[in-house]
Amino acid sequence: MKTASIMRQLARWHIWLGWVVAVPILLWTFTGLWMVARPIEEVRGTDLRSEPAPLVLAQTPVMPRLDGRRIEKVELVARADRPTWIIAFSGGDRRAADASTGAMLPRVDAALARRIADAALLHPGQVVRVAAFAAVDAPLDLRRERPSWQVAYADGLRVYVDALSGEVLAVRSNQWRWFDVMWGLHILDPVGREDTHHPLLIVTAAIAFPSCLIGFILLFRRRKARAKAPTPKAPTNAR
């Protein structure tokens, strides 16, 4: 009797806990299924990007003049307008320098941002908007605090170009944005879509775990009880 009473109490807890976490569990399952349904390379837009242009130099490159600033990395790349040094300074700042003179290059303008975006794509479409964003006002789908140009195409594709270095920061398709929405729902952070350590998610997961554990215990006990139950005998015909 005592075991049966405990099982009934566990069943009550399972029901009440299930009501609390039913919606989050449905969200976790649905959004998880949506996110794994497509290869991550398609979500990231890897299949939309072109191969980097070959680096062709007419002369020996001139090292950039850094004015004593501490640097972490210097890389020579073929930017859409010219061979360019990309300089990563300590602290996260990034700049571009002309490989033929070593002089620091000015900020990227709208026309150059469009050329860089087109060059980054295998099949660039029709550009419908080129907009500038400050680092503090970076769009949600950029996910980086850098001054940037957003080059938007008619098919919904957006290419973000760093306004200082001319680097392609991100390629965002409609598929990526839907994935981002699903990720935000999955971690119960639909606004920022980045915080995986917040009270709502922690508390919900903490409630869901015992609910699933109790359900497993009840399932095991019921199967055990059925296995012990006597098999009814078939009635015999009296003659």
Q: Has residue 117 got a pLDDT over 50?
A: yes
Confidence of residue 223 (pLDDT cuts 50, 70, 90): low
Range from 31-40, 49-58, 139-148 carrying the lowest mean pLDDT: 49-58
Comparing CA positions, the residue from 200, 177, 172 lying closest to residue 27 is 200
pLDDT at 239: 45
Average pLDDT of 107-121?
97
Q: Is the pLDDT of residue 226 over 60?
A: no
Going from N- to C-terminal start, the domains of the chain cover 2-40+183-224, 46-172
Q: Is the pLDDT of residue 220 over 90?
A: no
Q: What's the mean pLDDT when you consider all of the chain?
A: 88
Half-sphere exposure of 192 (CA within 13 A, CB side): 8
Per-residue pLDDT at 163 = 97
Of 182, 186, 132, 127, the closest CA to residue 160 belongs to 132
User: For 186-211, what is the mean pLDDT?
Assistant: 90
106 token code pair: 């000015």
Higher per-residue pLDDT: 168 or 8:
168
Helix axes 2-36, 174-186, angle to 10 degrees: 160
Q: If you average pLDDT over residues 6-20, what whole number do you get?
A: 75
Region of poorest pLDDT, from 100-114, 123-137, 211-225: 211-225
pLDDT, one tens digit per residue, over 39-95 is 999 999 999 999 988 888 888 999 987 777 788 999 999 999 999 999 999 888 999
What integer pLDDT is reported at residue 12 of this predicted model?
A: 78
Please indicate whether residue 55 or residue 236 has the higher confidence score (pLDDT): 55
pLDDT at 99 over 70: yes
148-155's contacts with Cβ under 8 Å and 24+ in sequence apart are 149/108, 149/110, 149/113, 149/117, 151/113, 151/114, 151/117, 151/118, 151/127, 152/127, 152/128, 153/124, 153/125, 153/126, 153/127, 153/128, 154/125, 154/126, 154/127, 154/128, 155/125
Bridge partners of residue 88, in order along the sequence: 73, 94
With pLDDT > 90 as the criterion, what percentage of the chain qualifies?
62
Cα–Cα distance for residue pair 156/186, rounded to 1 Å? 24
Predicted confidence band of residue 222 (pLDDT cuts 50, 70, 90): low
Contact 172, 195 (CB under 8 A): no
* pLDDT score, position 38: 87
Mean pLDDT for the stretch of residues 195-214:
88
Least confident of 16-20, 122-126, 205-209: 16-20
Whole-number pLDDT of residue 14: 67
